[in-house]
Amino acid sequence: MNLFGALDVSASALQAQRIRAEVVAVNMANSETTRTADGGVYQREHVVFEAQDGGSFEDSLIGQAGFGHAQQGQFGTLGKLKAASYLTGMPGSVSASGTVPGGVAVTGIIRDTGEPLRRYEPGHPDADADGFVAYPDINPLTEMVDLMGATRSYGMNASAVQAEKSMIAVSLDLIK
């Protein structure tokens, strides 16, 4: 992977953590929502991440060594690196499908299937015949911990982008 590929990986992680933080914000905003447009109680949402196909660690080492074909070495067959054409971009760049090899993608946002919390509030417009109101099972502490994790991960990836930018700048200075 080249330096620009590393930027793509960090960018995909930044995007994924931004979506995670947005979902947490929506959960917090709807923690007292007893009736949605669908007519039911709001259900907590979770973000599902998926690692993009970056190959194995061995494949990455082979790619860094510059082997374009299967090579026989002292450790056996070293593998085969896919040839990149100018139409698909440089190795490590975002492919036509929008995935970043070695990056992360949000594959979906799923709803929590847990039972809602029931509170006795007979005067509430959404109370059932027994006077209980169904509220979303959203714990603000859990949501804040999830938000802190997303924020820290976002910050670490932003720092990685800054480090990569300075490495690129130093590389360009070496050329001069």
The tens digit of pLDDT for each residue in 26-39 reads 999 999 999 999 88
User: Residues 154-167: what's their mean pLDDT?
Assistant: 93
In whole angstroms, what is the distance from residue 47 CA to residue 18 CA?
A: 11
Highest mean pLDDT among 24-33, 87-96, 100-109, 165-174: 24-33
pLDDT higher than threshold 90 for residue 137: yes
* Structure token digits, residue 109: 């946002």
In whole angstroms, what is the distance from residue 59 CA to residue 12 CA?
A: 21
User: Residue 118: CB partners within 8 Å, gap ≥ 6?
Assistant: 132, 133, 134, 135
User: Residues 11-18: what's their mean pLDDT?
Assistant: 93
Q: Which stretches does DSSP call E strand in 75-130?
A: 76-77, 104-111, 117-120
Range of the domain at 128: 3-175
Angle between helices 140-175 and 3-29 (to 10 degrees): 160
What does the mean pLDDT of the chain come to?
A: 79
User: Residues 75-100: what's their mean pLDDT?
Assistant: 39
Number of domains forming the structure of the chain: 1
- pLDDT tens sequence across 53-80: 766 656 655 555 555 444 444 434 333 3
Supply the DSSP symbol for 135: E
Phi, psi torsion values for 77, nearest 5 degrees = -70, 130
- Asked if residues 168 and 3 have their Cβ atoms less than 8 Å apart, the reply is yes
| Confidence band for 120, pLDDT divided at 50, 70 and 90 | very high
The pTM score is 0.71
- DSSP reduced 3-state for 48: strand
